[in-house]
């Protein structure tokens, strides 16, 4: 099979560690950092789906707003007192999530092989810009694509279509990489070749479709480009 | 404000207790019954959203199939050995979920007030038929509406629209009742008057919209019909 001509990465959970807020969460709410970071993330994704599915996207809010809303909900749910200062601290931390350490070398290796690279993310443009700069990835990405322009979150086809539109390639010529099982599934359904980076040794979704390949770190992207 | 002319109930979680499988789950997997019933439910709902959002509903599977898929995923996730016999036992239990005890009296009271009643559910027709008969609710429901006909799960507007189509009423003339916060939210966005029955003392969703009213049992439906 022809090698992919472009590689698009999911951002949150794939290039950037959404659970890296857990440390600060634990400092602010001792004994609850882990639970808060998991519930915050789950709720954030749930909210992207609710606003996308309901009334044909009429209730869209940018990812930053949904991230704030989900933080507030998660704290109420866990009975944690989120004052304005703590909220600002946690949201600021979310703006500067840790990047996974292998990001740069993988992107550099793709550049060396003359493969187009990009991000296709639920994040809004401002969040993505800050995250990319903080991680020092600017020169290594040809495309930084945000669903904000189409006001539909993944796994809506309008969101995935941003990748084929930006690159001018067919979905089957593009490798889409995500650590989120649901995202790898949605991208596979859309028609992308897919790598699910299963960082946390989770079972894949049970909906009858498998990603093209499964790996354990972003380095497994390079298995699609044998020299 | 005019009294509602019809009351539509969500089924799973509202008329029928989705966590009533927890007891059997605990017998089969001691120490894990609660975790399994929660994860099973969460995954089931997640799957309804994934198949609805992706490729304009092309990956629709009936609720029974998604319920099975989510059970399998939840067991793998929790490291529980689900053999064919246990799977059949749990799915059979799901087919016969406990009905909340106040269902009948509330439906009878609505009938006495000459208000149209119905179910508007993600469940497929066969599941709903069995659940309604098991709970002895047949004579008390004018409509049993399944999203299966439109192949879109709530909170998609095609799903909620089943209620206005079946009753011939405007959404604002109908009271939609759900114990699921996301469902009460989606129905409110669609235009229904809504009662969120907050059985588990949870915070409501933080997306800027509130249900018309919040109650704690189905009996609170009757507050919309003062005599």
ipTM of the complex: 0.96
Residue range A43-64, pLDDT digits in tens: 999 999 999 999 988 999 999 9
Percent of chain A surpassing pLDDT 90: 93
Residues B144, B132 contacting (CB under 8 angstroms): yes
pLDDT at A42 over 90: yes
The residues spanned by each domain of chain A are 6-16+99-224, 18-95
In chain B, what residues touch A206 (CB-CB under 8 Å)? Answer: 69-70, 72-73, 76
Q: Which CATH number fits domain A6-16+99-224: 3.60.21.10, 3.40.50.1000, 2.30.30.90, 3.30.70.100?
A: 3.40.50.1000
Decide if A195 contacts A220 (C-beta within 8 A): yes
pLDDT tens string A113-142: 999 999 999 999 999 999 999 889 999 999
DSSP for A55-119 reads GGGTT---HHHHHHHHHHHHHHHHT----HHHHHHHHHHHHTPPBPTTHHHHHHHHHHTT-EEEE
How far B54 CA lies from chain A's nearest CA (Å)?
Answer: 5
* Whether residue A96 has pLDDT greater than 80: yes
Q: Could you check whether B6-16+98-224 and B18-95 share the same CATH topology?
A: no
Q: In DSSP terms, which residues pair with B197 in a beta bridge?
A: B215
With an 8 Å Cβ cutoff, is A189 touching chain B? Answer: yes
Q: Which of B10, B124, B183, B220 is catalytic?
A: B10
Convert the pLDDT of each residue in B173-186 to its tens digit: 999 999 999 999 99
Q: Is B73 on the interface with A (CB under 8 A)?
A: yes
Extract the residue ranges of chain B whose pLDDT is less than 50: none
pLDDT-based confidence at A37, cuts 50/70/90?
very high
Q: Among residues of chain A, what percentage have pLDDT more than 70? A: 100
pLDDT at position A62 is 98
Task: Answer whether A186's CB lies under 8 Å from A158's CB.
Answer: no
Omega of the bond leading into A211 within 30 degrees of 0 (cis): no
Per CB-CB distance under 8 Å, the chain B contacts of A211 are: none
CATH architecture classification, B18-95: Orthogonal Bundle (1.10)
**Element of type H or E holding A214:** strand A213-215
Cβ separation B190–A55 shorter than 8 A: yes
pLDDT of residue A41: 95
Q: Which of B54, B75, B185 to mutate to test the interface with A (most CBs of A within 10 A)?
A: B54
From B69, B182, B186, residue closest to A207, measured CB to CB: B69
- Is B17 in the active site? no
pLDDT at A227 over 90: no
pLDDT digits (tens, 9 = 90+) for A16-35: 998 889 999 999 999 999 99
Res B227: pLDDT: 74
Is A59 in contact with B190 (Cβ distance < 8 A)? no
CB-based contact A50 B77, cutoff 8 Å: no
pLDDT at position A19 is 86
Q: Does A95 touch chain B (CB under 8 A)?
A: no
Confidence class of residue A70 from pLDDT cuts 50, 70 and 90? very high
In chain B, the residue whose alpha carbon lies closest to the alpha carbon of A68 is B206
- Please give the biggest Cα pair distance in chain B: 54
Q: Which residue from B192, B189, B199, B191 is spatially nearest to B220, judged by alpha carbons? A: B199
Is some CB atom of chain B closer than 8 A to the CB atom of A78? no
> Strand ranges (DSSP E) for A131-207?
143-146, 174-178, 193-197
Smallest Cα distance from A128 to chain B, Å: 22
CATH topology (fold) of B6-16+98-224: Rossmann fold (3.40.50)
């Amino acid at each position: 099979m022809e090698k992919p001509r472009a590689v698009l990465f999911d951002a949150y959970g794939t290039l950037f560690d959404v659970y890296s807020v857990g440390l600060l969460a634990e400092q602010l709410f001792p004994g609850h950092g882990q639970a808060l970071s998991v519930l915050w993330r789950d709720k954030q994704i749930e909210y992207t789906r609710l606003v996308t599915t309901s009334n044909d996207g009429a209730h869209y809010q940018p990812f930053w707003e949904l991230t704030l809303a989900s933080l507030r909900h998660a704290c109420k749910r866990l009975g944690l007192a989120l004052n304005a200062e703590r909220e600002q601290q946690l949201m600021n931390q979310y703006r500067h999530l840790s990047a996974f350490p292998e990001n740069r070398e993988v992107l550099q290796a793709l550049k060396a092989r003359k493969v187009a690279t990009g991000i296709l993310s639920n994040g809004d443009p401002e969040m993505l810009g800050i995250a990319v700069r903080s991680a020092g990835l600017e020169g290594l990405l040809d495309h930084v694509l945000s669903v904000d322009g189409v006001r539909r979150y993944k796994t809506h086809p309008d969101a995935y279509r941003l990748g084929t539109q930006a690159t001018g390639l067919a979905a089957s010529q593009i490798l889409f990489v995500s650590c989120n099982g649901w995202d790898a599934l949605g991208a596979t359904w859309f028609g992308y070749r897919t790598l699910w980076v299963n960082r946390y040794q989770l079972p894949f979704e049970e909906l009858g479709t498998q990603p093209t390949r499964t790996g354990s770190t972003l380095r497994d992207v390079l298995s699609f480009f044998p020299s």
